[in-house]
Chain A
């Protein structure tokens, strides 16, 4: 336990970590402010204004169409006009739906999912960098060696460090998730609506946030594991960059050029998306399952959140396992 408290102190004392967390918070605040400023509550006044705007636009278009028809009748069949000018159809009022003229408004029920995903994406990155630098700087500065002179049980040391990192990230992201939710409830109240949020809706929101936190912890553990394997922060960042370039762009380009079906499954963000939104349906447009009702229906592959979860578990076990194994067996020199 003494080791755990010392490690928690070490983690929170790091200036880099503090600045990174502060910077991330600033980004979050900016995003919330953006949502607040770009949304508006829709009341009778906004609806009346939207009706006026839609009507005005409709009338303008009708006038333009009228002018076009007159031009056409002067010289049918020339200047790109058809020979039969009745083919130029005048616009209809239903071409100008009221929705288009309403200001954007934050509907909690439908819009908050994407907002949680944003939170998850930002915090996965934060977790990765914090995790990598926490153990990477320990190795490259020599403090890991110093610590091992005090606590020679290497696996216990690394496991405690990982535990402290994951614990701290859980606490931080849980607090931020709650604040984030409250902030957007307030934004929805002031600049939109929370209508339709049933108990089931809230439960589903909470579960999505739990999945977001799991993803954040995975990011932190991968950063930690890679930096520990390479004994340097830069190794984790390098591997991450390499994976993005080689696997995510290179391999995907090659496979999709070769028309390999479902090449998207090589894209980690697709899995992250499946994890967050419970499922993603991939379609193979080179296939056709004909049906009299729907015409050609392509083959499809549905990635579900349990599948994504299994993938996360494998990645976690491989990377953290390898880090533990090398910690146990490699010389500290």
Chain B
């Protein structure tokens, strides 16, 4: 497989009167051809900055980027026709209709105007295409943005939070659209905060935190490397769960969390060990279930942004040790 998008050691600092803010701090990313790639990270971690830099809207302070094998930003004009993109809540000139907006872009980019009807149909705006964008709802603007990105029939589609403002039906349509597009050979990079969605449609992901890559690979790989092997343990009724938890702790289990009707045990290599420990104290296990980790918990762990009770986390705050996890 060939890389459609490569980023190495990308750095970008925003300068302002208050000083310098490092938005990207040696960020790496690779997207293989034909994949749907999820780009995840907490608010302010640098996703939009990465995509803007890639699209030539802002100048990086260092690092290397390439799209479809061409170095950026030097060769951006050559590949721009093959990269469709929306960047974070796209804005349009409100007094124009959707059709006018698209036809102006099509003319500027030398795209056949017949394509306009196709993309309007695709994003479900066919019947509202003659309305001014001013009269559109948030989700309709978002659909128009997706339409504008698809207009070029790109090889690489970059979507920054495309689900923003979409209704559940719209999200599902978007999901199947991504599938169809990637089956037709398009590579899709998708930034989103809806991790369930990402887990459903993405082949691979990159997770960014504080301007650095903290994880990358196929969804299964990322999940596997961080399977903290949590096990749900239920015992016969009438046994004090706090006492059970204490037993396991003193026997050496690293993470034990008692709950209402079960105990969660993490970091244990062989779940059967739990049965053995408890049986020695005449406590009989009635259920021993490995809990599948999902992307959300991995994300929260890697980025150190899991909510802590009684505290309100500020943006830019992460508890994760900095330093790349990636490959």
On whether the beta carbons of A333 and B91 are closer than 8 Å, the reply is no
| Choice from A141, A150, A332 contacting B108 with Cβ under 8 Å | A150
Residues of B with C-beta under 8 A to A137: 93
Residue B58 interfacial (CB < 8 Å): yes
On whether the beta carbons of A151 and B104 are closer than 8 Å, the reply is no
Residues of A with C-beta under 8 A to B59: 329, 331
Q: How far is the CB of B313 from chain A (nearest CB, A)?
A: 25
Residue B85 interfacial (CB < 8 Å): yes
Q: How far is the CB of A207 from chain B (nearest CB, A)?
A: 38
Residue B63 interfacial (CB < 8 Å): no
Give the contacts of A4-50 with B (CB-CB under 8 A).
5-7, 9-10, 13-16
Residues of B with C-beta under 8 A to A6: 104-105, 107-108
Residue B76 interfacial (CB < 8 Å): yes
Q: Which of A147, A150, A332 has the most CB of B within 10 A?
A: A150
On whether the beta carbons of A2 and B93 are closer than 8 Å, the reply is no
Interface of A, helix, strand, loop or mixed by DSSP:
helix
Residue A256 interfacial (CB < 8 Å): no
Residue A152 interfacial (CB < 8 Å): yes
On whether the beta carbons of B109 and A142 are closer than 8 Å, the reply is no
The interface bits of chain A over 293-333 (1 if a CB of B lies within 8 angstroms of the residue's CB, else 0) are: 00000000000000000000000000000000000010111
Residue A171 interfacial (CB < 8 Å): no
Residue B206 interfacial (CB < 8 Å): no
Q: How far is the CB of B327 from chain A (nearest CB, A)?
A: 30
Give the contacts of A122-164 with B (CB-CB under 8 A).
137-138, 141-143, 145-153
Residues of A with C-beta under 8 A to B93: 137-138, 141, 143
Bound CA span A150–B152, Å: 9
Q: How far is the CB of B135 from chain A (nearest CB, A)?
A: 15
Nearest neighbor of B107 in chain A, beta-carbon distance: A6
Bound CA span A152–B96, Å: 23
Residues of A with C-beta under 8 A to B105: 6, 146-147, 150
Residue A3 interfacial (CB < 8 Å): yes
Residues of B with C-beta under 8 A to A145: 57, 87, 90-91
**B interface, how many residues as a size bin?**
20 to 34
Q: How far is the CB of B112 from chain A (nearest CB, A)?
A: 12
| Choice from B77, B85, B91 contacting A143 with Cβ under 8 Å | B91
On whether the beta carbons of A5 and B58 are closer than 8 Å, the reply is no
Bound CA span A76–B237, Å: 137
Nearest neighbor of A141 in chain B, beta-carbon distance: B93
Q: How far is the CB of A233 from chain B (nearest CB, A)?
A: 12
Bound CA span A322–B90, Å: 27
Residues of B with C-beta under 8 A to A331: 52, 57-59
Contact A153/B104 with A145-B87, A333-B52 known, Cβ cut-off 8 Å: no
Residues of B with C-beta under 8 A to A153: 77
On whether the beta carbons of A2 and B100 are closer than 8 Å, the reply is no
Q: How far is the CB of B127 from chain A (nearest CB, A)?
A: 22
Residue B224 interfacial (CB < 8 Å): no
| Choice from B52, B58, B91, B100 contacting A141 with Cβ under 8 Å | B91
Residues of A with C-beta under 8 A to B324: none
Give the contacts of A63-122 with B (CB-CB under 8 A).
none
| Choice from B57, B73, B81, B108 contacting A3 with Cβ under 8 Å | B108
Residues of B with C-beta under 8 A to A141: 91-94
The interface bits of chain B over 79-104 (1 if a CB of A lies within 8 angstroms of the residue's CB, else 0) are: 01101010100111111100011001
Residues of B with C-beta under 8 A to A333: 52, 57-58
Residue B62 interfacial (CB < 8 Å): no
Residues of B with C-beta under 8 A to A332: 52, 57-58
Residues of B with C-beta under 8 A to A5: 107
Q: How far is the CB of A8 from chain B (nearest CB, A)?
A: 10
On whether the beta carbons of A2 and B58 are closer than 8 Å, the reply is no
Contact A146/B77 with A6-B108, A333-B52, A333-B58 known, Cβ cut-off 8 Å: no
Bound CA span A10–B103, Å: 10
Residue B290 interfacial (CB < 8 Å): no
On whether the beta carbons of B56 and A14 are closer than 8 Å, the reply is no
| Choice from A9, A16, A143, A151 contacting B80 with Cβ under 8 Å | A151
On whether the beta carbons of B108 and A151 are closer than 8 Å, the reply is yes
On whether the beta carbons of B108 and A148 are closer than 8 Å, the reply is no
Residues of A with C-beta under 8 A to B104: 6, 9-10
Residues of A with C-beta under 8 A to B101: 143
On whether the beta carbons of A14 and B95 are closer than 8 Å, the reply is yes
Residues of B with C-beta under 8 A to A16: 95
Residue B196 interfacial (CB < 8 Å): no
Bound CA span A152–B100, Å: 21
Bound CA span A146–B57, Å: 10
Q: How far is the CB of A165 from chain B (nearest CB, A)?
A: 16
Residue B256 interfacial (CB < 8 Å): no
On whether the beta carbons of B57 and A148 are closer than 8 Å, the reply is yes
Residue B298 interfacial (CB < 8 Å): no
Q: How far is the CB of B73 from chain A (nearest CB, A)?
A: 8
Q: How far is the CB of A11 from chain B (nearest CB, A)?
A: 11
Residues of B with C-beta under 8 A to A146: 90-92, 105, 148
Bound CA span A328–B152, Å: 25
Bound CA span A2–B90, Å: 24
Residues of A with C-beta under 8 A to B100: 13
Bound CA span A124–B107, Å: 30
On whether the beta carbons of A147 and B76 are closer than 8 Å, the reply is no
10 closest Cβ pairs, A-B complex: A142-B91, A6-B107, A331-B58, A6-B108, A332-B57, A150-B109, A141-B93, A143-B93, A152-B76, A152-B56
User: A2-B109, A149-B80 provided; 7 other pairs, C-beta below 8 A?
Assistant: A137-B93, A143-B101, A146-B92, A149-B83, A152-B55, A152-B77, A329-B59
12 contacts between A and B (CB under 8 A): A2-B108, A6-B104, A13-B100, A137-B93, A142-B90, A149-B55, A150-B152, A151-B80, A151-B108, A152-B80, A333-B52, A333-B57
